[in-house]
């Protein structure tokens, strides 16, 4: 894939596309963690929607940090001291907090204003013969995740995981 430039600024390079794919794969694992925690707390634990969503976000941020630090941005120089790791995780949580705030707001708005009940009939194979589940809260959480993902990638790429010697890629 050739580099593309706009006004002399290179945006799309092969390395950036590869990094974005890695970020997306890590993000898929984070979506899984987020939704498992949300579903367990919201449906099984009877936690309020926003609290269950926030808990899922908090845990998925940490698992995403570990994978992004080791794999997505594993090629960058980071420093070997313990305080370097804590500085990266701190930056990641700060940047992810902005994305999480947007994610929570989008999910809350979708759940309260845009989505009505969406019933999913469970097949007998899943033990739900004649039973249905409202999936609109889950769809609201997924909507928030999608919006927050873009913010999180940019913050990670430009700040949390940048090379310690050189901020340019």
Decide: 52 and 45 in contact? Cβ < 8 Å.
Answer: yes
The CA distance from 101 to 107, in Å, is 10
The CA distance from 55 to 34, in Å, is 8
Q: What is the pLDDT of residues 60-95, one digit of tens each?
A: 989 999 998 999 888 877 777 778 888 888 988 888
- Whether this model's pTM surpasses 0.75: no
């Amino acid at each position: 894939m050739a580099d593309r430039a706009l006004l002399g600024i290179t945006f799309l390079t092969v390395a950036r596309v590869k990094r974005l794919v890695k970020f997306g794969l890590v993000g898929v694992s984070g979506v899984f963690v987020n939704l498992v925690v949300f579903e367990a707390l919201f449906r099984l634990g009877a936690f309020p929607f926003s609290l269950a969503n926030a808990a899922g976000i908090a845990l998925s941020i940490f698992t995403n940090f570990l994978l992004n630090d080791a794999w997505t941005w594993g090629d960058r120089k980071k420093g070997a001291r313990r305080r370097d790791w804590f500085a990266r995780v701190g930056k990641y949580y700060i940047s992810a907090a902005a994305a999480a705030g947007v994610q929570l707001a989008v999910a809350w708005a979708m759940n309260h204003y845009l989505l009505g009940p969406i019933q999913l009939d469970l097949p007998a194979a899943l033990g739900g013969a004649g039973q249905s589940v409202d999936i609109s809260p889950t769809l609201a959480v997924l909507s928030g995740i999608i919006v927050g993902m873009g913010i999180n990638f940019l913050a990670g790429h430009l700040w949390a995981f940048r090379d310690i010697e050189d901020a340019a890629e």
